[in-house]
Structure 1
Amino acid sequence: MPPPAPDPAPLPTTPRIGLLPAAGVSASAYLLFGLQLGGWGHGLLALSLLGALLVSRELAKDLLLIGLGITIVSTTSVKADVDWDRFFTIGTVLLLAVAVPLLVDRLVLRRRTIRFPWLSGRRWNRWQWGYIVAVPLLGWLLLPFYFITSGAYQNWPHITDAGELGRFLVGVNFVGTWDELFFICTCFALLRRHVGLWPANILQAIIFVSFLWELGYQEWGPLLTAPFALLQGWLFTRTGSLLYVLIVHLLFDVVVFLAIVHAHNPGMIPIFLV
């Protein structure tokens, strides 16, 4: 097993009370994306950032970067939609949610705290190759059952047009890539500097799952998305490779795409058990 990936920058000691404003930032995402309570969500976010400033300037800086991304995403609905206007609107908002915190980190705060370590410099071992194979297999077994029995597939549009199917596939992979850039390389990496591995992983998973809820993974979807979010954070820590966790995510998302199309069009993709 490879050693844990190093923190992105040297870290001054953060008091344990710093967990409270960090949790508040994550909870604000639940209010904004999960419950659609804009006023309460933004209010809690602002209060949490103020609390962070009272605890530690470094904590406040890092939570501000996360808060910027959350706020940008909250400016539009991310409910799944493949119409051209929503396709570009959602894409632009998600790009800004990654780019703005990165630019603020580099140009305003004069740091390199947010990083995207594509390669770890180490060969993949057997368990990593095994997980690469296991992920799409588990998706093939679980995802059709989830989407069909819960009815959650109806949160995605019924698509038969080839052009819309193409946009849907691109959109699924784009969002999957963005998930890793924002939730793992930004939220998780910044939180981990202050509250430790597993508290940071749980807090990023709350933001991750809240976003996916608005996207369409509703009903009992969090029973699938929460373990996936936690595993992605853990994998990133163990491998130190964005490329690895991204490949895992995109393989899973290919099965998501196929399962949703299958749920809307039974018999169109006869590879599933449900």
Structure 2
Amino acid sequence: MGRARTDSSTTTGERTRPRAAWGLIPATLVSASAALLFGLRMPVPGYLVLAAALTLAFVLNRALFRDLLLIAVGLVIISTISVEANIDYPNIALMGTVLSLSVLVPYLLSRYAYRDHAIRFPIRTGQRWTALERAYLPLVLLLGYLVLPRYFISSGAYLNWPAVSVPDEIARLFVGVGFVGIWDELFFICTVFALLRRHFPDWQANLLQAVIFSSFLWELGYQSWGPLLTFPFALLQGYTFARTRSLTYVVCVHLLFDAVVFLVLVHAHHPQWLAIFWY
């Protein structure tokens, strides 16, 4: 999307691609472990697959092992709690803490234990958004408006989120949806995708992160035929980040989409409210 931009953290010289394609096996197993942990809610098989992935990576390529270990640490931290939508104050505090740690711990390990800058959060890139990038933002709103009401209401997936009625509950839902949207980009894109890109072509790294991204969102509540939306969205976010090198931009895209999610969830529980959707 727009022009490709330079980024010293992803130059060819800093990538350590595994020999042949064998390294793709442990990386795929890491993604499969996320599907087990979050999508199927099978923690023991998920941990076993994750352990097998790390063991195989250690044998095949130590650099790959180090980066997959960072992803695994984040996944294990997330797996310690349920990420089902729950906006009670204690759960907000718990989930906010755990999700924050899942980003912070891999970053600190990378920065201070590995002493590299593989994980970055490029907020100010110094590059102006292109005309295409600016035009994409209202398109996101339009697509959300056309697709999300039909998905949430026809599938009944909106029932996976609490029905909010009073201002305090509405505010907590709004903040929760936005927080998770920002965290998605910090973890799945700036951490998982960025680490995988050091070893694999972008398209492979993007597919691997999209599996993990979609698995998490399944547990969060995007069920039924939700993966038909979340998987392409994850791929688009990875592609957009690869082109723009801008966390700010992908967060803007995500928050615009999530703004529609929030409005649809409120409307779905209270059809007389926000009767602005077509479905």
**What TM-score comes out, normalization by structure 2 length?**
0.96
- Which residue in 2 is equivalent to 1:2? 3
Residue in structure 1 matching 2:140, options 108, 124, 135? 135
> How big is the alpha-carbon RMSD for the aligned residues of Structure 1 and Structure 2?
1.1
Distance 1:269 1:117, change over 3 A: same
CA displacement, residues 199-256 of structure 1 (integer Å, 9 cap, x when unaligned):
1000000000000000000000011111100000000011111100000000100100
How big is the shift at 1:11?
2.1
Residue in structure 1 matching 2:272, options 261, 267, 273? 267
- Which residue in 2 is equivalent to 1:49? 54
How big is the shift at 1:57?
1.0
Secondary structure of the residue aligned to 1:110 is coil
Task: Check the 8 A contact 1:183/1:208 in 2, yes or no.
Answer: yes
Q: Within 2, Cα distance between the matches of 1:71 and 1:44?
A: 12
Aligned length: 274
Secondary structure of the residue aligned to 1:179 is helix
- Which residue in 1 is equivalent to 2:157? 152
Secondary structure of the residue aligned to 1:17 is coil
Distance 1:254 1:20, change over 3 A: same
- Percent identity over the alignment is 54
How big is the shift at 1:56?
1.0
Task: Check the 8 A contact 2:141/2:257 in 1, yes or no.
Answer: yes
- Which residue in 1 is equivalent to 2:187? 182
Tell me the amino acid that sits aligned with residue 129 of structure 1.
Answer: R
Secondary structure of the residue aligned to 1:195 is coil
Gap regions ≥5 residues in structure 2: none
Residue in structure 1 matching 2:18, options 8, 14, 21? 14
How big is the shift at 1:4?
5.2
The 5-angstrom pairing of residues 30-69 of structure 1 reads 30-69=35-74
Q: Within 2, Cα distance between the matches of 1:197 and 1:12?
A: 13
Residue in structure 1 matching 2:212, options 191, 207, 212? 207
How big is the shift at 1:108?
1.4
Tell me the amino acid that sits aligned with residue 217 of structure 1.
Answer: Y
Asked if residue 101 in structure 1 is aligned to residue 106 in structure 2, the reply is yes
Residue in structure 2 matching 1:251, options 247, 250, 256? 256
- Which residue in 2 is equivalent to 1:236? 241
* Larger mean Cα displacement after TM superposition, 3-12 or 59-68: 3-12
- Which residue in 1 is equivalent to 2:201? 196
Q: Within 1, Cα distance between the matches of 2:7 and 2:55?
A: 28
CA displacement, residues 107-152 of structure 1 (integer Å, 9 cap, x when unaligned):
2112111111113322111110111110011101110110000000
How big is the shift at 1:264?
0.4
Structure 1 runs of 4+ off > 4 angstroms?
A: none
Q: Within 1, Cα distance between the matches of 2:108 and 2:137?
A: 33
Secondary structure of the residue aligned to 2:23 is helix
**What TM-score comes out, normalization by structure 1 length?**
0.98
Q: Within 2, Cα distance between the matches of 1:27 and 1:271?
A: 39
The 5-angstrom pairing of residues 20-31 of structure 1 reads 20-31=25-36
- Which residue in 2 is equivalent to 1:77? 82
Residue in structure 2 matching 1:90, options 83, 92, 95? 95
Tell me the amino acid that sits aligned with residue 15 of structure 2.
Answer: L
Task: Check the 8 A contact 1:119/1:240 in 2, yes or no.
Answer: no
CA displacement, residues 151-179 of structure 1 (integer Å, 9 cap, x when unaligned):
00000011102111101100000000000
Tell me the amino acid that sits aligned with residue 256 of structure 1.
Answer: V
Q: Within 2, Cα distance between the matches of 1:12 and 1:43?
A: 26
* Larger mean Cα displacement after TM superposition, 107-116 or 260-269: 107-116
CA displacement, residues 73-124 of structure 1 (integer Å, 9 cap, x when unaligned):
0000000001111111111110000000011111211211111111332211
Tell me the amino acid that sits aligned with residue 73 of structure 1.
Answer: I
Distance 1:105 1:11, change over 3 A: same
How big is the shift at 1:5?
4.8
Q: Within 2, Cα distance between the matches of 1:135 and 1:108?
A: 39
Secondary structure of the residue aligned to 2:276 is coil
